[in-house]
Chains A and B, each alone.
Chain A
Amino acid sequence: MDEAAVLPRQRPAPAVQGGKRRPKREREGAAWVFLSPWVLGAAVLTLLPMAVSLYLSFTDYDLFDPPSWVGLRNYTQMFTEDPRLLRSVLNTLLYVLVAVPLQLALALAVAVALKSMKRGKGFYRSAFYAPSLLGASMSIALVWRALFNDGGTVDNVLGSLGLHTGGWVNRPGWALLSVALLTVWQFGAPMVIFLAGLQQIPKELYEAASVDGAGRWRQFVSITLPMLSPVLFFNLVLQTIQAFQVFTPAFAVSGGRGGPADSTLFYTLYLYDRGFTASHMGYASAMAWVLLIAIAIVTAVLFRTSRSWVFYANEEGR
């Protein structure tokens, strides 16, 4: 694989030029014809369900009887009388705070190591990226459950070293950590983006720094990190949004219930539980909208803080 493949192509769009230009309206018509499959898809498969879900969030709907309007009751119930919802919010926050920084740190470390590699770079990059392709699947989550179970592989290996763990996924204090590890393990996607970002940093900066006698750590802190901060920010936003929506690993590891003892009951899992197990689709829809708004707020906060630490070389008048 070549570096350019992971970067957006920066070729200018072919401008329409030449002799006879068709009227603008007609060209737009052609554009819509070609766009129609995607526009239709977005409208029918995304916007329409979203509108329906917004409507359902103000109703009591059990999938069988027609929805009945209850106004804001679902929302007030969420904020005033649902202790398990609070539990799920705390679990999700804890998970985001553990998994995202660990994953990004690992991705950056591996990217820096790979960058300075002379041979076999392509092989290692693919090898580290592979878990990101597999990770979202149910089967990997099930393998994870088997690995970290009581009597599973991890337990056996540690046990042979005299550290009998008794399994992770079946104990309230450890289950969340095993799910977080599954996420950290999928550091391939942010790693590839970091790697691309690293290639963009001008070599002269490092050369100048070594002439000035800066060591590798100093170079990393004073050149790599600031120059990479836009990419770091991009990864941070992307991974945070993804982490808030984590579902499959927790579903598989806990058998769909968020157990043991609600310790892996993430927000999305509780949403699913309310909707499909308890048949409260209205309540689940309200939860989905609150999640959407919460993610929007977190993202806005991240953007706000970014002003103080993200450095865009072009703007700073180079």
Chain B
Amino acid sequence: MRRPITLAAMALALCLALAGCGGGGASTAADSKVTLRFTWWGNADRAARTEKAVAAFERANPGIDIQTSYSTYESYKQKLATQAAGGDVPDLIQLDYRQISQYAGSDVLLDLGTQRKALPTEDMDSGLLKTGQVGGVQYALPMGVGTQALAYDKEAWRKAGLRAPKPGWTWEEWADALRKLKAAGYERPMTDPGSMEDWFEVWLRGQGKRLYGADGQAAFSAADLARFWAFTSKLRKEGLVSRAEDTTQMAGSVEDSPMGRKRAVAEFNWDAPSAGYEAMYGDRLALAPMPAGPDGTPGQYYKPSMLLGIAAGSTHPREAARFLDFLLNSDAAADILGVDRGTPVNGRQRTRVLPKVTGFQQQVAGLQESLEGKLKDPPAAPPRGDNGLQSTFQRDYDQVAFEQASPREVAEDFLTEARTELRP
């Protein structure tokens, strides 16, 4: 009796294994709908708005089905690189300014000039359009404009007798504000900015320097980085910025950061992603400009908050272009997305959206308006290899914050690694 059953079981397993291999393709071939895959990074709020926009597009284009998926930036970055290596890039992808050089230079992205009819760009800011070009070819379109910001709790600011920071306030004035907050009873009021390359760049630009030179190499010295880290370390020892134990836990989402965990009342972040604090601080949440250099030179800049591109290997580039056109140029999408991915690049949408935003998005619009015309040109797209350096920067700062090595020693180490990673 045993043997027939065993044989039957094995045959069944074989059938299942074979069916498993063929299953995926069969079901999509059956319906005639065009299916596009669209992946991005972001939080739950962005997901809700994006799904709404996708649904509106699908209603207007019943022949197109858009499958979406999203994750945090760190895992998104790694997954996309793996998909690119395997030749399985989703039709529509969201890219960071830091990824453009790599993806455009590796034939992963479609030349959007081939879809000009479906995807007009006349209404978009020409300076910003350039951020999606490599070698004169438009590989991606910026979705919105963002800038660095100080997110803070208005209530704490008021109790410390501080006024809302104005554009041009300096790093010293920022440190003094922290001292007043501490005097008002807010122990370690600010998240230590030393672990993020983004804030170092703002500090550096305030002194008229920059992160990368035209040759794609680091354009700052170990002494520059050591001075920045010595500055943040002094603040940490004064009890003004977060402890090493809290700083080290930051992993790219608001939930892991000291302010998100209610251990601090102020934190640097990008403007649109600061929406994540709203759940905890409600209308006490405010945005202010970043501190500037000693002579008032602004360090922050307008950056494409993210760009959208179409995979070179997409089998439906025309439909993908139509979806991009909808997201970037249509009133319907603008009304749904607001300034969630930064203020729109399309001038017409910008004037339509800015006066209408509500809640926290008003803070974003207000900040960008207050900085209008005051900032310097954004840096060129970061070179390949910069991607990994962002993580190195944060990891290396652990050594400084836990006082395992001096800022100078760690800064030398960082530059050594930067030189290897950035080799052409």
Contact = CB atoms under 8 A, between A and B. Distances in A.
A99 to B, nearest CB: 22
Interface string B1-15: 011000000100110
B398 A278 contact: no
Nearest to A169: B249
B85 A63 contact: yes
Contacts of A167: 245
A82 to B, nearest CB: 10
A255 interface: yes
B68 interface: no
Contact of A64 (B3, B17, B85, B248): B85
A278 B248 contact: no
Interface string B369-406: 00000000000000010011001101100110110100
Nearest to A257: B395
- By CB atoms of chain A within 10 A, which of B74, B81, B392, B401 has the most? B81
A64 B244 contact: no
Contact of A262 (B10, B244, B250, B398): B398
A125 interface: no
Contacts of B103: 64
- 8 tightest A-B CB contacts, nearest first: A278-B388, A255-B251, A64-B106, A261-B398, A63-B85, A260-B248, A170-B245, A276-B78
A64 B249 contact: no
Contacts of B3: 14
B100 interface: no
Interface in B264-301: none
B47 to A, nearest CB: 20
B102 A261 contact: no
Contacts of A150: 245-246
Q: For the side of the interface on A, what is the size category?
A: 20 to 34
A63 B82 contact: yes
Contacts of A64: 81, 84-85, 102-103, 105-106, 108
Interface string B254-267: 00100001000000
B421 interface: yes
B391 A257 contact: yes
Interface string A44-61: 000000000000000000
A37 B84 contact: no
Nearest to B401: A261
A276 B78 CA distance: 6
A315 interface: no
A138 to B, nearest CB: 11
Contact of B10 (A34, A166, A273): A34
A260 B245 contact: yes
Interface string A141-172: 00000000111000000000000001100111
A273 B388 CA distance: 9
Contacts of B421: 278
A256 interface: yes
A204 interface: no
Contacts of B404: 172, 261
A277 interface: yes
Interface string B80-120: 01101100000000000000001101101000000000000
Nearest to B3: A14
Interface in A250-295: 255-262, 273, 276-279, 281
Contact of A256 (B82, B245, B251, B399): B251
A262 B395 contact: yes
A212 interface: no
Contacts of B399: 261-262
Nearest to A145: B249
A34 B103 CA distance: 44
A166 B82 CA distance: 38
Contact of A37 (B13, B85, B388, B398): B13
A273 B10 CA distance: 41
Nearest to B248: A260
B199 to A, nearest CB: 18
Contacts of A257: 251, 391, 394-395
A167 B243 CA distance: 13
A65 interface: yes
- By CB atoms of chain B within 10 A, which of A65, A172, A281 has the most? A172
Given A172-B404, A259-B398, A260-B249, 7 more contacts: A14-B2, A14-B3, A64-B106, A170-B248, A255-B256, A256-B251, A277-B78
Contacts of B85: 63-64, 281
B59 to A, nearest CB: 36
- By CB atoms of chain A within 10 A, which of B78, B261, B394 has the most? B78
Contacts of B2: 14
B245 A279 contact: no
Nearest to B17: A37
B249 A34 contact: no
Contacts of A151: 261
A62 B383 CA distance: 14
Contacts of A171: 245
Contacts of B244: 260-261
10 contacts: A34-B10, A37-B17, A64-B85, A64-B103, A170-B245, A170-B246, A257-B391, A261-B248, A262-B398, A273-B391
A41 B395 CA distance: 39
A279 B387 contact: yes
A264 to B, nearest CB: 11
A63 B84 contact: yes
A260 B388 contact: no
A95 to B, nearest CB: 19
A276 B82 contact: yes
Contacts of A278: 388, 391-392, 421
A65 B84 CA distance: 10
B367 to A, nearest CB: 29
A34 B17 CA distance: 12
A62 B85 CA distance: 9
Nearest to B391: A277
Contacts of A36: 14
A185 to B, nearest CB: 22
Interface in A109-152: 149-151
Interface in B217-272: 244-246, 248-251, 256, 261
Nearest to B78: A276
